[in-house]
Amino acid sequence: MVQTNSCSQDDDNLPAAGAAVQFSATGIAATPATRTAINGTSGQTEWALNDPVGIFMTGAATADNRQYTVSNVASGALVPYGAGNTLAFPQSGSVNFIAYYPWKNGQTLGNYPVDVSNQSNPATIDLLYSNNATGKDKSSNPVDLTFTHALAKLKMTVAAGDGFSNLLGLTAVEIQNTGTTADFKLSNGTDFSLTATGNIAARRASPVIYEAILIPGPASGSVKFTVDGNDYFWDIGTLNINFEQNTRYDYAVTVNKSGITVSSQSITAWGAGSTDEVTAVKFITGTNWSFNPATGTLTLLAGFVLNNDLSGITGFTGFTGVSLSLVKSLVIEGTMTDAQLLKLKTLNNNSNTGSLSALESITLSNQTGALPDDFFWITVSAGGVQWLKSISAPKVTELHLAAFQNCYNLASADFPKVTTIGDAAFQRCDLVSVNFPEVTTMGDYAFDNCNNLVSVKLPKVTTMKDLVFYNCGNLASIDLPKVVSVGTSVFERTALTTVTLPDIETLGNAAFKNCPNLTTVVLPKVTQILEAYEGNFFNCPNLTSVTFGSALTSIHANTFGGSTDKSKIDLHLCAAEYALASGNTWRGWIFKSIIAIP
């Protein structure tokens, strides 16, 4: 420590004859270094000679933003930067000290501007903070200011994975869409107010280590690794953590041709000097397959020929601790014949009793055209297919008859390019939502008895055959803006409450029969409501409003039968039909009201 012998009494209410304060600055040791070189003996990060520190004094005497500098890198001793910056204790009473690095001219105890957009010189952005020295008086000399890192640090140890023999082609690592500037409140040392987001080029600390100092807050954005001119991304938002002050986050990142694998982590106090390293988990590869043990994903490469028991995966069980029982997701990159595709449903018999006992998901990355009839169909009496929970085929355009019929646990179906869904394609599945953006035509029973189905979004569907959503007892929301025609019992026994079908012209028999929650129906373009023994709104006891348009030419006598209470319904009719009404009576039925459509 360095004793200071001068005392400023010109401003900031400092009392006369107070003893000059002696300061030492400690508490920022960390490995690897962010600001300075590592001490070869202690292995700790040290202050740099003449590092500028700002100090505030509050309490019985006050002083703002006095500049001190480090005079000894080993002890962290601080001396005033010129006589006018010397701090002194009051003759009586106690004071508190708040200090920060790097010093800024004119800084107050309000917002300190933080900017981490340029990481080329970490010393200039590595904000250090101290507020431990409280209740000090003239008997307290010396005063130790214990500093911590106010920001967070991300360390990435990068390794070459599947498809790379080395990472000599790694030219840049960039954190994208993350906080770049913020205001830091010096008065409490914890509050950050983000003022801008952007991209940060991580600093290369060694041939395999990239580092970045980050503004504390929720992990967000992504990290882009550029190798041989190609970009690979890691979504750090999936960490679901907050980057905390004075904390270092170490991740092992493996760059594979197929993407990024983040296999392990170490989170330690930044000032703790932890040097723990973690080892990246690489893909295990064979001649025509690769396996990612971190995710349980088995990828069959293009040209692979599938056998019933996956015996074509030469040598897969030859690695210690790796077996087919670890496979959770199967990705097939090649294209397959219908006969080969049909073998997929036999992988685990009906339930998870085959060699792939953990398998839940299948992705057909490059399969095109149509999936065959009965693709995953197994009869109800035989138990159906119970192990399949997720299916994705981004290039398939047609699903044929009973493609996934009786796949009882199938909860996710991703077919973004499918235009036609065949009869009973998803009958008795576990789907919660349906969203097929390109489908135009749907066959009979397509989603019949999907008891967990809640919402349907089919923006291009024009034709729906019979019983498409029959007995989907939880279906409460449909979005069908282009549908023109629906068949018999399409929405029977659903939980729909409000239905608007803006383009529908033909409403099939019993379309909304037995819908106990249905209250409002708007069908502005419907031309006919087909004959039915039990009508379209049969047994809809809570129905209160039905609106038809001027195009309606016929409506069957049984339309509002059963428990449907016509006395609760406001009926909206076109001029020609309204002319047939007398008071609240139309076609022999008495309604709550009959309203003419303008």
Can you spell out the DSSP letters for 76-99? TEEEESSGGG--B--SSS-EEEEE
Confidence of residue 48 (pLDDT cuts 50, 70, 90): confident
- Which tens digits make up the pLDDT trace of 244-287? 998 888 888 999 888 888 866 667 667 543 332 223 334 566 66
Q: Note the pLDDT of residue 307.
A: 55
Share of the chain above pLDDT 90, in %: 51
Q: Note the pLDDT of residue 469.
A: 97
Q: Note the pLDDT of residue 476.
A: 95
Which of the two residues, 34 and 219, has the higher pLDDT score?
219
SS3 238: helix
236/223 Cα distance (integer angstroms) = 7
Bridge partner list, 446? none
Bridge partner list, 545? 520, 570
Strands 506-507 and 485-486: parallel
Omega prior to 102 cis, within 30 of 0: yes
Buried/exposed 334-370: b ≥16 CB within 10 Å, e otherwise: bbbeeebbbebbebbebebebebeebbbbbbbebeeb
Q: Note the pLDDT of residue 5.
A: 30
Exposed / middle / buried, residue 144 (Cβ in 10 Å: 0-12, 13-18, 19+): middle
Read off the tokens for 20: 């000059």
Confidence of residue 11 (pLDDT cuts 50, 70, 90): very low
339 sits in which H/E element: helix 338-342
Cα–Cα nearest to 121, from 102, 145, 99: 102
User: What average pLDDT does the chain have?
Assistant: 84
Q: Note the pLDDT of residue 32.
A: 34
* For residue 135, pLDDT beyond 80: yes
Find where tokens 């600390």 sit: 205
225/163 Cα distance (integer angstroms) = 15
The answer to whether 386 and 351 are in contact (CB under 8 A) is yes
Instruction: Calculate the alpha carbon distances from 147 to 26, 150, 431 in Å.
Output: 6, 9, 55
* For residue 140, pLDDT beyond 70: yes
Question: Mean pLDDT lowest for which of 241-250, 365-374, 492-501?
Answer: 241-250
Strands 77-80 and 23-26: antiparallel
Q: Note the pLDDT of residue 35.
A: 40
Mean pLDDT along residues 314-334: 71
Mean pLDDT along residues 162-179: 90
The answer to whether 541 and 564 are in contact (CB under 8 A) is yes
Q: Note the pLDDT of residue 403.
A: 96
Confidence of residue 335 (pLDDT cuts 50, 70, 90): confident
252/255 Cα distance (integer angstroms) = 10
Q: Note the pLDDT of residue 269.
A: 67
* For residue 360, pLDDT beyond 60: yes
- Which tens digits make up the pLDDT trace of 368-387? 999 999 999 999 999 999 99
- Which tens digits make up the pLDDT trace of 551-578? 887 777 678 888 889 899 988 888 888 8
Bridge partner list, 67? 54
Cα 335-383-426 angle, rounded to 5 deg: 50
Confidence of residue 529 (pLDDT cuts 50, 70, 90): confident
- Contact partners, residue 458, CB within 8 Å, separation at least 6: 434, 435, 436, 439, 442, 479, 480, 483
Q: Note the pLDDT of residue 304.
A: 64
Question: Mean pLDDT lowest for which of 27-36, 165-174, 272-281, 493-502?
Answer: 272-281
Confidence of residue 55 (pLDDT cuts 50, 70, 90): very high
- Contact partners, residue 225, CB within 8 Å, separation at least 6: 158, 170, 172, 173, 231, 232, 233, 234, 253, 255, 260
3-state helix, strand, coil in the chain (%, to 5): 5, 35, 60
